[in-house]
Amino acid sequence: MAAGTSEDLWRGEDLWREIRIALKRTGDGFADLVSSAPDPQAMVTEEWSVADTAAHLVSICAYYPYLLGGVSNPFPTLVDRILSTNVDKVAELNHHVMRELTERDPRALAERLRGHIGDILRLSESLDPGHTVTWLGSARLPVSGLLAHLVNEFMIHGWDVARATGAPWPMSRGDAGLFFDLFLTDLIRHGTGSLLDTGEPPHPRRIAVEFRSRHTRPATLVLRNGTLTVEEPGPGADVRVRFDPVALNLMLFGRLSRARAALTGKIVITGRRPWLLPAFLRKVRLPANSYPGP
């Protein structure tokens, strides 16, 4: 939630305002973080430096105004790759995008970030938050989910940079929860396209996983014959996951191990068939940089 509000209360009517405030706050914070890094070439993942990480965020922020109808496509040669990618090919797609974006001066990148964020907020202001755009892998994503994805990108990669440089990087549980509420569940509701089509054989049985936290609306994600749907929570869940949104996002993107998340109590798994969760997460997985952390 926005600064100064209680993160213990769910206020669905404020979501559009909250996500826009969160985008401005996390985007400005990330720009400040990278522009003040003492060594822009310090490695934050096995492949990316501080400057590379900033360039990655610039590439996303440059692309989203195009999705919102405000500018031409900044990566026209990559259209087919973008629309046909899946979760296992995102790293390859990033490689091609990064080759086209050659700027690596962190202060210049920070200024470009601030400019693109301003464009995104301006272009989205008059749009219905539920208006859908065609995203990676031809998935359909509401505008609110697009902004939530970007907030999470800033939060996760800001965590990377802060861990490598020793800088502070506070992460709001309310802001982190927007990823589950506005991105993940709405992506599943509107259609994931080829994004999760990795060729893995579908699990032979229905798996229903209920997710709850103090900062998100409860929802049950159901995997059946390789297809995902979102249902209201009910008595038929196989697995119940109570989570801290920051920990869940770090875990889903490979920054926090499942064991550590469980041992610290940030992820609590219960239910009738908790052993089905690994099979569920093999399908519902997200890209993770090669990260040498725990």
List, for residues 173-224, the tens digit of each pLDDT value.
Answer: 999 999 999 999 999 999 999 998 877 777 788 999 999 999 999 999 999 9
> pTM of the full predicted structure?
0.92
Query: 62 and 173: one domain?
Result: yes
| Domain range enclosing 240 | 207-283
Which has the closest alpha carbon to 48: 294, 293, 290? Answer: 290
Q: What is the DSSP letter of 6?
A: -
Average pLDDT, the chain: 91
Residue 199 maps to a domain: no
| Cβ-based neighbour number of residue 224 at 10 Å | 13
In the predicted model, what is the mean pLDDT of residues 49-69?
97
On whether both 155 and 24 belong to a single domain, the answer is yes
The reply to whether 47 and 164 lie within a common domain is yes
Report residue 58 CA to chain centroid gap.
15
Beta-bridged to residue 228, according to DSSP, are 223
What is the number of domains present in the chain? 2
Task: Tell me phi and psi for residue 22, to 5 degrees.
Answer: -65, -40
